[in-house]
Amino acid sequence: MTGAAPLLRLEGLTKTFALRRSVGERVGRSQVEPTRAVDDFSFTLHHGEILGLAGESGSGKTTLARCIIRLIEPDAGTIELDGIDVRAARGRQLRELRRRMQMVFQDPYSSLNPRMTVGAALHEAGRVHHRPGSENGEQFVRDALERVHLSAGTAKRRPRELSGGQRQRVAVARALAVGPEVLIADEAVSALDVSVQAQLLNLFLDLRDELGVAILFVAHQLAVIAEVADRVAIMNRGRLIEIGDAADVFANPQDDYTKSLLAAHPRPRLSGAASS
């Protein structure tokens, strides 16, 4: 795995947001520091691996994820997919690059078009990119649903008829329908119940093992990352703090921030709980 050319390469990625200033602040000419949401961030993602990106809320991880597929335009740095410069791409080339790096969003309740049936959404994804098999709508949709262990009958339903876990599966199915090599899961399980979360985590592991998809798994809960990630990157205030094999980083954290993050991880106070 390591040694072969990386599938996705980020180098020095930076994104700064200028803060909105109120009229009063502008008039008073007070100095307002722009926020560096992503600060000189670099990493590589290899074929068939799951890289966890851990950070607390506000660390910039969602901004980073969106910069990779240019939902937000980065200010500086390099993004290369399979050697192709993502930042320079335009029009059709950009759309093709996006096809190869799909994103699954956090909120299952708003990541699917409420007016489209599941089948219509999946079929559209296939048709737009002329995926093999997309001419036969029914079969294509059936296959897409099977990949995420959903019944064929789900195709007729609308998102509001599905549970959170089912919606996320549909979101994953939609992402897979265009045939990506990279999946970016942006807090994709954070809004789900624990038992449903476990199902989705196993699904991501299946995708890595059976389809060879590389996954960038963004989350704020360390334990969730521990369950799926091969390697881990720790992020704080836009900067990369530490990166390495998951077992290594969690067992022997090098940086103080990583150590404090691990220490803050909730542990049950079992003996005499609260009342002593």
Partner 1 sequence: MSTIDLLEQQGVVPSRTRPGLRGLSRETKIGAGILAVLFLAGLLAPLIAPYGQNQLNFTDIYSAPSLSHVMGTDGAGRDVFSRTLYALRLDLGIVVLVTYPPLVIGVFAGAVAGYFGGIFDAVLARIVDVMIALPFLVLIIAVIAIVGPGIKGILIGVPLVAWALYARLSRSGMLVLREQPFILATVALGYTTRRTILRHAVPNLMRSSLIYSTLDMVVNLLLLSSLAYLGLGAQPPSAELGSIIADGQSALLTAWWVATLPGLVVVLFGIGALLLGDGLSDGRLKGTLPCASLPSRC
Partner 2 sequence: MRLTSEPVLSIEGRRVEFDMPFGRLVALRDASLSIRPGEIVGLVGETGSGKTLVCRSVMRLVPARGRIAAGRITFGGRDVLAMSTRELRDFRAHDVGMVFQDPFSTLNPVLRIGNQVAETLRVNFGLKKAEAQAQAVALLRDVGIPNPERRALSYPHEFSGGMRQRVMIALATASQPRLLLADEPTTALDVTTQAQILDLLVRLSQEREMAVVLVSHDFGVIAQVCDRVAVMYGGHIVETGTIEEIHDGAEHPYTRGLLDSIPRLESAGRATRLPVIPGVPPEPTEVVSGCVFRPRCRYAQGGCDTVSMVLEPVSPGHETACPVRPFAVADSAPTARAGARP
Closest to partner 1 by CB, 94 vs 198, is: 94
Nearest-angstrom CA–CA distance, 61 and 241: 12
- The answer to whether 171 and 104 have CB atoms below 8 angstroms apart is yes
Nearest-angstrom CA–CA distance, 263 and 64: 25
Residue 123, both tokens: 């079929």
Contacting residue, 25, 85, 96, 209, with partner 1 by CB under 8 A: 96
Q: Residue count at the site for partner 1 (CB under 8 A)? A: 35
Closest to partner 1 by CB, 72 vs 226, is: 72
**Sign of torsion over alpha carbons 89, 235, 52, 243:** positive
* Per-residue x/- track, 110-149, partner 1 (CB under 8 A): xxxxxx--------xx--xx--------------------
Contacting residue, 136, 139, 151, 163, with partner 1 by CB under 8 A: 163
95 binding partner 1? (CB under 8 A)? yes
Nearest-angstrom CA–CA distance, 54 and 30: 34
Q: Which of residues 234-253 bind partner 2 (CB under 8 A)?
A: 245-251
Choose the contact partner of 114 out of partner 2, partner 1, none; CB within 5 to 8 A by kind.
Answer: partner 1
For 258, left (φ over 0), alpha (ψ -120 to 50), or beta? alpha
Q: Where are the alpha helices (DSSP H) in the chain?
A: 23-28, 61-68, 91-100, 118-128, 137-147, 164-177, 194-206, 222-228, 246-251, 256-264
| Site residues (vs partner 2, CB under 8 A) | 56-58, 163-166, 193-199, 201-202, 205, 220-227, 229, 232, 245-251, 262, 264-271, 273-275
| Site residues (vs partner 1, CB under 8 A) | 66, 69, 71, 94-99, 102-103, 105-107, 109-115, 124-125, 128-129, 158, 160-163, 171, 174-175, 178, 191
